[in-house]
Amino acid sequence: MKTDEKEFYTVKELADLLEITTTTVYRMMRRGQIAYYSIGRAKRFRKADVESFLNHCRTVNKAG
């Protein structure tokens, strides 16, 4: 199954998708910057929540 077809991502999959480290993902979680599900010790990120996070991070260069 391709990563973009998944409904949920693991910490590692999300880090790979965003091209950041797993440490950065955990830091974003701790700061409350990204929503996640905690199932026992496993952490999962819903695709829609990741898209919402990315839309929130999006910036547009307004320089002329």
Query: What are the structure tokens assigned to 43, written together?
Result: 């952490």
Structural Rg of the chain based on CA atoms: 13
Where exactly are the structural domains of the chain? Answer: 9-57
* Average confidence score pLDDT of the chain: 92
Give the mean model confidence (pLDDT) for residues 36-59. Answer: 96
Q: Output the pLDDT for position 5.
A: 78
Question: What pTM did the predictor assign?
Answer: 0.82
- What is the secondary structure of 4-22 as a DSSP string? GG-SEE-HHHHHHHHT--H
Q: Output the pLDDT for position 16.
A: 98
Q: Output the pLDDT for position 4.
A: 55
Share of the chain above pLDDT 90, in %: 81
CA distance 9 to 14: 6
pLDDT for 15 beyond 90? yes
Cα dihedral 10/16/19/20 (nearest 10): 50
